[in-house]
Structure 1
Amino acid sequence: MSTIFTKIVNGEIPCHKIAEDENYLAFLDITPLAEGHTLVIPKKEIDYIFDLDDDLLAGLMIFAKKIAPALQQAVPCRRIGVSVIGLEVPHTHVHLIPLNSMNDINFTREKMKVSQEELKAIAEKITSFL
């Protein structure tokens, strides 16, 4: 059965897209830890990041690297944090999270509640810097 991320890639579930190419997709997390929290995924459904072949893994990180500066311009912060946990959805994904403190990347704290309109505006702001 397809993961929720594969359904997003296939257009079966909408997302607030930041960037896309033939192999990767970046979109906003709908339950973010911080404003602009972005997920970067390979379009190919592979559960565990270290099961990606070397080229796909390198490409994933290079794709994420292109998103980070635009995210930091759109959501001013000290740094863009990177996290890979891999337990929530069985499809490799990298979290890009605007950080001002260590607690901003604490996945045990309560997630933000953001409306679809707010997510759309944030996505548009980020993409304007790409």
Structure 2
Amino acid sequence: MSTIFTKIINREIPGRLIWEDEHCLAFFTIEPFQYGHTLVVPRLEIDHWVDLPEQLSAHLFAVAHKVSRGLVKAFDPARVGMMIAGFDVPHTHLHVWPALDQSEFTFEQANRNPDPALMDEAAEKLRAALTDLGYGEFVTS
């Protein structure tokens, strides 16, 4: 059975897509730590990140790095947080977000009801930043 992430990748359900290439997609989580909280997800359904082929793992981390550069440009955060947890959806995903404080590094503080207009605004800011950084060919609309 497909994961919710595969359904987003296959456009069976909507998602706020940010990045797409032949190996992965990046899209906003529905419960962000901060507006701009992005998941980098391989197209392949691989539950545990340590089971990723090394080349795919390297690619995901490279995309997370590029998205993180976009987060810096778009939101000017104190830091960009990165986390791999993997307990909520059995499909590898890297969390990257504009972090303001160390206390954000917990799912208990996630926004369970984010404002859709602010989510859309943050997505547009991040897409514009990634385009400005030269990654426009991978930016989704």
TM range (shorter): over 0.9
When the two structures are superposed, what TM-score results if normalisation uses the length of structure 1?
0.94
In the TM superposition, what whole-angstrom CA distance separates every residue of 1:62-111 from its partner, at most 9, and x where no partner exists?
A: 11111101112212211101100010000000000211211122222242
Residues 34 and 112 in structure 1, CA contact (< 8 A), matched pair in contact too: no
1:32 and 2:32 are equivalent in the alignment: yes
Aligned residue identity for 1:43: R
Q: SS of 2:95's equivalent?
A: strand
Sequence identity of aligned pairs in percent? 42
Which residue of the partner structure matches residue 56 of structure 2? 56
CA distance in structure 2 between the partners assigned to 1:63 and 1:4 by the alignment: 21
CA distance in structure 1 between the partners assigned to 2:65 and 2:9 by the alignment: 20
Which residue of the partner structure matches residue 83 of structure 1? 83
Q: SS of 1:124's equivalent?
A: helix
Aligned residue identity for 2:104: D
Pairwise mapping of residues 94-113 of structure 1 onto structure 2 (< 5 A)?
A: 94-113=94-113
Report which stretch shifted further, 110-119 or 54-63. Answer: 110-119
Aligned residue identity for 1:4: I
Flag structure 1 segments of 5+ consecutive residues without an equivalent: none
Across the aligned residues of Structure 1 and Structure 2, the Cα RMSD in angstroms comes to 1.1
The count of residues paired between Structure 1 and Structure 2 equals: 130
Which residue of the partner structure matches residue 16 of structure 1? 16
When the two structures are superposed, what TM-score results if normalisation uses the length of structure 2?
0.87
In the TM superposition, what whole-angstrom CA distance separates every residue of 1:22-78 from its partner, at most 9, and x where no partner exists?
A: 111011111111111111111111100000010110111011111101112212211
Residues 33 and 112 in structure 1, CA contact (< 8 A), matched pair in contact too: no
Q: SS of 1:30's equivalent?
A: coil
> Deviating runs (4+, > 6 A) in structure 1?
none
Flag structure 2 segments of 5+ consecutive residues without an equivalent: 131-141
